[in-house]
Every structure is written in structure tokens, then in C-alpha cells.
Amino acid sequence: MSGTETNPDTIAAVSTPPGRGGIGIVRLSGPQAASIAAKLVRLRQPLEHARARLADVMDAEGGEAERGEIGRIDEAVVTFFAAPNSYTAEDVVEIAAHGSPVVLELLLRRALDLGARLAEPGEFTQRAFLAGRLDLTQAEAVRDLIEAQTLTQARQAASQMGGALSRRVAPVKQSLVELVALLEAGIDFAEDDVDVTPQAEIARRIGELTPPLTALEASFARGHVVHDGLSLAIVGRPNAGKSSLFNRLVERDRAIVTATPGTTRDLVSERISLEGIPLELVDTAGLREGREEAEQIGIARSREALADAAIVLVVLDATQPLNQEEHRLLEAVAGRPAIVVANKGDLVKNGTKTSGANEMLLANPAALSTSALTGAGIPELRQRILALATGGAASEPGMLTNLRQQQAVSAALTALADAARANAESIPHEMILLDLYRALGALDSLTGQTTPDDILNLIFSTFCIGK
């Protein structure tokens, strides 16, 4: 993964999304990027590093166009970045034409005819990683930024791209390297009167490495939720106000609401952002013994949604006594991330109906009173959902955002625990070093220094072509 290695081939791809738009970009990277670009378009000035040049996109190669046989079909802006001062650390050329798929395909096909090859998904970023321009967490953040659906996701990805996670890991890794060097010196130079590191000193140093890694692993609770989002199923008896609460959370009339029980026959879902957390809301059919085949199918799907959801919102009718289905539902969600709301609280407060309100509150002291009609309790409900989604973890720089990262930190902690146990049992330093090197390898895999090629290929294959 040395930054001095160069790729013999030049790659090309359309770097803007498919379809028509104001601007479309064809990107080239590699040793022939500049020479191929000079043949692709008719430049009005020679290419110069980090300077934009106007150019004409001709309906044939430049030589024929100059003889006046073929005309211009577009005007483009060509920007050249000379190695190593580019995204990939190679010569890079970006041709920004109008976003016509016909023009972009013409430029790309000509580039391939002139010796470039079509870039694989993520190959530009993979070359940047292999050249040392990015570490693996930063490369993953490039993909995350492209796929971001909320501003919070974009901010988190930008933080990772700036090296926040790498900077958080670096001090721990440095301390671990120092401990490894200390033990190695004691083994290799024992005959030269180099002191063997005392058992207490080894224990102290390992003990200092564990808390920051434990805190880093704990950041996954919020980091992966911001990155991936969660699903929330709204369940309850018919006519308890599930669809009305769904519409309140979505902030528009997405689900049909009537006074007739059983209106919702199928799952209705909507994706929202709750303080930057992507949340998939699923409104379900009311749970009861279905009277019609369509309703029975809807109820079966509701039970599936209940089983699959990360969070369950149980909606009870504060004006009605709890029925057997609701008792079974409350038992089913016990121990799961769930919120119980007593909806139609406006009717109870107005004194028009009180049956069931006290029973419900006694059965669920943590239940939240809401009114989908007036909006009462909705802000508190949003906060309850957010707290459950993030586990109460606060946002912090350098959070773990995917399972690969979390597993790497977990493996490092396991290896350090094994080293501490071996040290406490007075096992020879050579064996302790095996555990310490295992911890170091896990941290290296986090940022990519020792990541196997098959893992790299899997990571970069999830990128879009042209990035």
C-alpha cells in the first residue's frame, strides 16, 4: 500500500449520476490521463495543474475537426491535476460538459478507444487509499457522504473524511506500539543489561489502553444508528389512533384516518429524519380477530412488522379498558425497546371519557399520554423515540459507524484482555507479545494498514462507478 507505487493503466468513468442534468463529468486517472484528454477535446489553452481550461467537444477526433470536416457539439471545462497533487495521487483530468448522456457516453467511449479502461466501482477512491491519500475509515466516509440522506449523516461522514476516527485511534495505537517495543527490547537485549519490564508496569500500561477503546466501542450505539437508521412499528388495537399518530410523526396526512375500525388493511411506511436519525415508520393494521380475508392478511403482516422492528410503539386507547389482545401485546414487547402511549388523552382530560385510563396507567407507569388530535405529548414522544434509538449515547467526533469498525475495536479489546490475563499469570513475555500484536493488527485493520485484499475489494465494490 505504498504511495510510491503507480498503476500502469489509465481509468475513466462518468462521475455524475445517470440521467440528464446541467453538468456531467467524465473523470480520468492514470499516466495517460492528460494525453488522452488532449485528444478527447479541442483545448483552447494547454493543460496546467489546478487550472480550468475551456475546450470544445467535437463530433470526431480533434484532427478532423480542425480541418472543418466535423462541427462542435458541446463546450466543456477541463481541469487537470498533476500527480501527486490529486485525489488519486496520479494525473487526474475532469471534463465537465453539459449533462447530456449522449455527449458523456461519446467522451467515455473515445477515452476507452484511446487506451483508457472503464473504472471499477470505487476504483478512484481505492487508488487514493492505496496511494496513502486516505486511510480506510476516510475512504468509507466518502461512500457514506455520497449516500447521506440527512444533514446529520453528512456531517458525520465529513468528520470521518477529515480523519476524526483515525485521530481518535492514533494515541492508543502509539501507546500500544511503545509497549510492544519495550517488551521486545527486554527480550532481544537481555544480555546487554536491558531491564525486563516489571509485571506491574505491563499491567498499568495495558490498563491505560483499555478505557479509550471501550469508549470508542460504545460510540457504535449511536454511530451505526446515524449511519443506518432504524425501523419503528406502530401497533395496537383498531381505532386507537395509530394512523393519526403516524401522520403526526410524519407531519403530513400519509395514512388514511377514519372513525371506522380496521381502516388500515396493509402496512404503510414512511422514512423520516428525527434530529438527523433516519427512521422508517411503519403503520400497521389494528390487532384483533380479523373479520375479512383482507384484514386478516393485514393483521398477519402487522405481526411480522412487530417482530422485525427495532423499536415498537404500542398505542393504547386511553378511553377504553385494556382488552386481552393488548395484554398479550404488552407482554410480547416486554424487554424489547418499546414505548407505550395512551392516545386520545384530550378526551380523558376533558372528562368526557375516563374508562380505561387509570387501568392503563397502573399497568404501564411509564406510559406517555398523547393526543394525535391536539398534538399534546408528541414532542415528548419524539424525544422518547430518539433516546431509545441512540441508547442515550451523545454525538461525539470519531464514532464507529459500521460493523467492520466495531468488530476491529472489539477484537483489539479482547486481545488486550488476554494479554492482561497472561501477564497476571506470569506467562513469559514472548506469549504476551502475541496478544499485543493481535491487538495491534486489529487496530491496523480499522484504518486499513493490514486489511486483506478481499476485504478491500468488498468495501470498494459498494461505491458507485466514477468515485
pLDDT of the residue at 369: 87
Helices (H), 197-323: 199-218, 220-228, 242-250, 293-308
Task: Look at residues 66, 79, 72 and name the one whose alpha carbon lies nearest to residue 29.
Answer: 79
Sheet containing 311-317: give its strands across: 268-274, 277-283, 230-236, 311-317, 338-343, 368-369
Q: Does domain 228-390 have CATH number 3.40.50.300?
A: yes
Per CATH, 11-133 and 160-219+398-448 having the same topology is answered: no
pLDDT of the residue at 261: 47
| Residue spans per domain, the chain | 11-133, 160-219+398-448, 228-390
Q: How far apart are CA 316 and CA 323, in angstroms?
A: 10
DSSP 316-354: EETTS---HHHHHHHHHHTTSSEEEEEE-HHHHHTTS--
CATH fold label, 160-219+398-448:
Four Helix Bundle (Hemerythrin (Met), subunit A) (1.20.120)
Q: Which residues of the chain have pLDDT under 50?
A: 1-4, 62-69, 192, 255-265, 352
pLDDT of the residue at 292: 59
Q: What is the pTM of this model?
A: 0.77
pLDDT of the residue at 2: 41
pLDDT of the residue at 318: 85
Cα 15–Cα 16–Cα 18 angle in degrees, nearest 5: 115
Quote the cell numbers at residue 88. 488519486
Q: How far apart are CA 105 and CA 113, in angstroms?
A: 12
pLDDT of the residue at 258: 43
For 317, list phi and psi in degrees, rounded to 5. Answer: -90, 110
pLDDT tens digits along 402-457: 999 999 999 999 999 999 999 999 999 999 999 999 999 999 999 887 667 777 78
* Domain 11-133: assigned CATH number: 3.30.1360.120
